[in-house]
Structure 1
């Protein structure tokens, strides 16, 4: 029996890159059945709402979603659909691998680390209000339960992937209660994993160190806001957001998606790089136990990326989205 997976193509280039990634997955395994639904502006134009109930029910039924980028208006307007999905399904962990690939021009070769971001609280709770016409306040929430849970996930990831060190980043020297609690929680959980090295680094220093020598790090665990910033910065070390996959993981539901945005300026032109979507699909396949298919796709992707003549425009090549997809499918 095929595994049903919710497919959300999203906005902008989402339709192109997500269908490309889904096509590749279909060539690698016959065990997936896609249930395509809408979210974002595409859904708003069709149903009058950014996150239709049909989409929510599909995710609840299937437990696994493969999601494209969704446009979020800046400033006043609609709340982020990404944040809404994470909070609705308690997807407490945002997992972002940072890996360089041969053939892709980037600052660091042979880089392989992972950033684990607490996904359910911090300033992203969105608790804010106006104090006066000239002052606004945002409330930062850090809890012991969420902090210990994400720290434990980081150590379990290190164990599973045979990584020897976990680095917790914080600003506890200034925010002694909130970030202090996050640090204290990490220190407590580290005692359950004496075979894994543990260190903590203040987030501003972490930013500098991650740029100067990222090879010093294997697993980085951070509160929501710091993790968001650091993971985007780290993507720049390996070729940009076009090379950045992610997973949002909860107790029984997980959503896999490329980190980059919807790029409406190039939507429909068939030039978008689907690599981040493909890498997110590989993560998803491994998560659901389709290891063989995941490895087949990853091996094919590595071969294509290694050949400079087979790149999309954003990484120095001339291939369209479709042509890039077809090169991977040939190898499958």
Structure 2
């Protein structure tokens, strides 16, 4: 890297303080192997620790500093365990996505060769619109898209706008052009005609600008069946917020484990690397967590940075992960016995061997 990047480190809760340092270790090894200047890591408070030290799960100093950085690693949070007054607010992840308009949530699902994947050969990416749809915490400028007009009635709004749909569709088409040139639109237009039908139709409109991409579409309920039965046939899936969240978790498990499911949340200015899984408080501090998803999310962040050396480092991370797993160094969820630290060290060593 001609100029070293400044990236934030937000460890989070539960297994976060184990898997985020594991990702930092591997990314540092990859950048060094690629011949780049060291990353300047900027640790920032978030989650339960930040509540204890700053009185907020996402203190102003964290938000202000993140705005000055290229991107950051965000560990999982356990907001359900926060004190009541903090549980009533947006969780850190949702707030950051909304505050920085991180409109594209890119979630790959790729099986590791030789592991017990439910769908061997699975290699797809879910492109999830991240700012509106049926997610109440992101679908309004102020307040939320959920409300109760009476004690016996609860209402949730789904928001769909042309600008948001067009920008996520372009992201999906551009990604498909770099992959196998196959895009699948997921919707529920047979029932939600004015909303998800709108989403489907706008994606179809933009397809005219990408004649090389084969485009098909499926209802969300049918799509879950297709993923289970022949998920390896799909390439890039584009869909609204809630459908994308559900499909990407399903795809991650079909690939072998949610522990290997990475993601990046991005705008044109900022990107947040975040594993798709949760904080797993039941195994926190026991050196049992699979750091693959967090490491691979970090690789996605490097790739998003866009310069040649960052992209080279991202490729080294991906290759290092696959070499390590192929050697039989695996965490328990993939049928192995390696702990978090052992696995991260093995990946970092493999990255160094690849140059």
Q: Same fold (TM over 0.5)?
A: yes
Partner of 2:191: 174
Instruction: Within 5 Å, give how 1:185-224 maps onto structure 2.
Output: 185-224=202-241
Residue 97 of structure 1 aligns to a residue in which SS? strand
Residues 209-252 of structure 1, C-alpha deviations (whole Å, 9 max, x = no match): 11111122111000001000000011111112101000101021
Partner of 2:119: 108
Residue 317 of structure 1 aligns to a residue in which SS? coil
Partner of 1:18: 20
Residue 208 of structure 1 aligns to a residue in which SS? helix
- Where in structure 1 are there 5+ consecutive unaligned residues? none
Partner of 2:319: 299
Following TM superposition, the consecutive aligned residue runs of length 4 or more in structure 1 with deviations greater than 4 angstroms are none
Partner of 1:50: 57
Task: Measure how far apart 1:52 and its partner are.
Answer: 0.8
Aligned pair partner of 2:94 in 72, 83, 89: 83
Kept after mapping to 1: 8 A contact 2:120/2:232? no
Judge which range, 52-61 or 290-299, deviates more: 290-299
CA distance in 2, matches of 1:250, 1:150: 10
Kept after mapping to 2: 8 A contact 1:97/1:112? yes
CA distance in 1, matches of 2:322, 2:278: 23
Judge which range, 202-211 or 314-323, deviates more: 314-323
Aligned pair partner of 1:230 in 240, 247, 263: 247
CA distance in 1, matches of 2:322, 2:243: 30
Partner of 1:141: 159
Residue 237 of structure 2 aligns to a residue in which SS? strand
Residue 326 of structure 1 aligns to a residue in which SS? helix
CA distance in 1, matches of 2:316, 2:201: 42
Task: Measure how far apart 1:313 and its partner are.
Answer: 2.0
Partner of 2:201: 184
Kept after mapping to 1: 8 A contact 2:5/2:70? no
Q: Cα RMSD over matched residues?
A: 1.5
Judge which range, 171-180 or 87-96, deviates more: 171-180
Partner of 1:68: 75
Residue 21 of structure 2 aligns to a residue in which SS? helix
Judge which range, 24-33 or 55-64, deviates more: 24-33
- Where in structure 2 are there 5+ consecutive unaligned residues? 32-36
Task: Measure how far apart 1:66 and its partner are.
Answer: 1.2
TM-score, normalised via structure 1 length: 0.95
Task: Measure how far apart 1:133 and its partner are.
Answer: 1.3
CA distance in 1, matches of 2:320, 2:212: 35
Task: Measure how far apart 1:104 and its partner are.
Answer: 2.2
Partner of 1:6: 8
Kept after mapping to 2: 8 A contact 1:72/1:79? no
CA distance in 2, matches of 1:91, 1:327: 32
CA distance in 1, matches of 2:80, 2:201: 36
CA distance in 2, matches of 1:31, 1:158: 32
CA distance in 2, matches of 1:144, 1:298: 35
Residue 191 of structure 1 aligns to a residue in which SS? helix
Residue 207 of structure 1 aligns to a residue in which SS? helix
Task: Measure how far apart 1:307 and its partner are.
Answer: 2.7
Residues 108-152 of structure 1, C-alpha deviations (whole Å, 9 max, x = no match): 222211110000001212311112212111111111111111111
Task: Measure how far apart 1:295 and its partner are.
Answer: 2.2
Residues 30-65 of structure 1, C-alpha deviations (whole Å, 9 max, x = no match): 431100102122211221101111111121101311
Residues 81-123 of structure 1, C-alpha deviations (whole Å, 9 max, x = no match): 2121111101110000110112321112222111100000012
Partner of 2:335: 316
Task: Measure how far apart 1:72 and its partner are.
Answer: 2.7
Q: Is 1:329 matched up with 2:348?
A: yes
Kept after mapping to 1: 8 A contact 2:129/2:240? yes
